[in-house]
Amino acid sequence: MESRVYLDHAATTPLDGRVRDALVSHLGEPRANPSSLHGLGTAAREVVEEAREAVARLTGASPREILFTGGGTESDALAVLGLARAAVAADPARRHLVVSAVEHSAVRKAAEHLESTGYRVTWLGVDGHGLVDPRELSQALRPETALAAVMWANNEVGTVQPVEELARVCREQEVPFHCDAVQAVGHLPVDVTEVPVSTLAFTGHKFYGPSGVGALYVRDGVELAPVSFGGGQERGLRSGTEDVAGIAALGAAARLAAGEREEWARRERELRDRLVRGATAIPGVELNGHPAERLPNNAHLAVEGVEAESLVLFCDASGYAIGKGSACASAGEPAGGEHKASPVLAAMGQDERRAFSAVRVTVGKDNTPEEIDGFLEAFSGAVAQLRELSPLYAGRG
């Protein structure tokens, strides 16, 4: 395979070399189970607890408020299902959820699952930029609302929600508020002392950390029902032998992010702006999502007359790895490969054709301006070629 420039950081970031070193240093012998009584077990437990402190520090949490999980999806599921079941256990009438229409499938499908088991869900709409309106959230809350869920920043279009206001609305009405911060942590300042979320999900592989390890912040006093069962690790909320090396690596990533996030974001923003300027100079290419309230690394581009899959593969053939703009409703599920856009762009009022014309280009701290310029050249060439191919772009291509 030819060498490639990676511009798909929203899908997963590279592993930072320093995090890799931390991970590798924990892969050496001896390995022990943190639940073991002997000294090696105790040492493994200490590694886990040190990582917990680092992760807590990154987000303004106390260590005891941080749970380690198997990833972002699991963190989201534990929060949504756990909050819902705790609420209904306390009061059987509390079977109502408020969930934004632009959630990642991890939250959306957990809510849909609850819906199929008798919960009612109010789906919160968004404006053309993908923003949830705090007043709408406030109006949607009811005495029987078990939880509300709005993500910190959208994984497709990059729009950053007014989470502080949203969380305050929920706090005032005493409704638990779950926030999926998988795309935000390590890229934006995320501080649970400022934003009164009840639970907050994130994962290492989106900010230069390990994959296969996630975290869930659970504010002191917030009740969560367990959704898995076993040895009772992680306060009984996530059983299973801890992946000590992976957890240590998440701790290392958190320490890096705490120190360097601002610098990363500055670089990401510069590269992203360069990219957006260049791309939107091509006729018929527009930026989706909010122009200002967006992730520093995200450029989501609607490309008139072109279908995203082909454009991604064209760019790939020129050495640039970018993403489709609309996550398949059934990504990764080979049997269900129907051509169906995710609900995000639909919720923003875009038609299917425009949804399918969008690509997501997400930069990283280690990309260079030269790479962006090279990409822009390849991109405009690909767009021109595909338009020439298109029966819809007649007269112009």
Picked from other proteins, ligand PLP, a second copy, none, the partner binding residue 339 (CB below 5 to 8 A depending on kind) is other proteins
Q: Report the catalytic residues.
A: 328
* Part of the chain binding a second copy (CB under 8 A), chosen from 24-32, 130-138, 190-198, 282-290: 24-32
Picked from other proteins, ligand PLP, a second copy, none, the partner binding residue 155 (CB below 5 to 8 A depending on kind) is ligand PLP
Using rule CB under 8 A, residue 337 touches other proteins? yes
Using rule CB under 8 A, residue 71 touches a second copy? yes
Using rule CB under 8 A, residue 312 touches a second copy? yes
Matching residue, tokens 């200002």: 292
Using rule CB under 8 A, residue 317 touches other proteins? yes
What part of residues 165-184 is at the interface with ligand PLP (CB under 6 A)?
A: 180, 182-183
Q: Using CA atoms, how far apart are residues 96 and 302, in angstroms rounded to an integer?
A: 35
Instruction: Provide the 8-state DSSP code for 206.
Output: G
Question: Where does residue 253 rank: exposed (0-12), middle (13-18), buried (19+ CB within 10 A)?
Answer: buried
Q: Which is nearer to other proteins, 88 or 327 (CB)?
A: 327
Q: Which is nearer to a second copy, 33 or 122 (CB)?
A: 33
# residues contacting a second copy (CB under 8 A): 82
**Taking a C-beta distance cutoff of 8 angstroms, is the pair 206, 183 a contact?**
yes
What does the DSSP assignment read for 34-50? TT-SSHHHHHHHHHHHH
394 contacts: CB under 8 Å, gap ≥ 6: none
Residue 24 beta carbon to ligand PLP: minimum distance, rounded to whole angstroms = 21
For the record, the structure tokens of 115 come out as: 């819906």
Radius of gyration of the chain (CA): 21
Picked from other proteins, ligand PLP, a second copy, none, the partner binding residue 8 (CB below 5 to 8 A depending on kind) is a second copy
Residue 221 beta carbon to other proteins: minimum distance, rounded to whole angstroms = 19
Q: What is the 3-state secondary structure (H, E, C) of 246-309?
A: HHHHHHHHHHHHHHHHHHHHHHHHHHHHHHHHHHHCCCCEEECCCCCCECCCEEEEEECCCCHH
Using rule CB under 8 A, residue 296 touches a second copy? no
Matching residue, tokens 């969380």: 167
For the record, the structure tokens of 296 come out as: 């520093």
Residue 326 beta carbon to ligand PLP: minimum distance, rounded to whole angstroms = 13
Q: Which is nearer to a second copy, 138 or 207 (CB)?
A: 207
**Taking a C-beta distance cutoff of 8 angstroms, is the pair 89, 162 a contact?**
no
Please give the residue ranges that form the binding site for ligand PLP (CB under 6 A): 71-73, 76, 104, 106, 151, 155, 180, 182-183, 203, 205, 240-241
Please give the residue ranges that form the binding site for other proteins (CB under 8 A): 37, 41-42, 45-46, 305-307, 309-310, 313-314, 317, 334-339, 351-353, 356, 386, 388-393
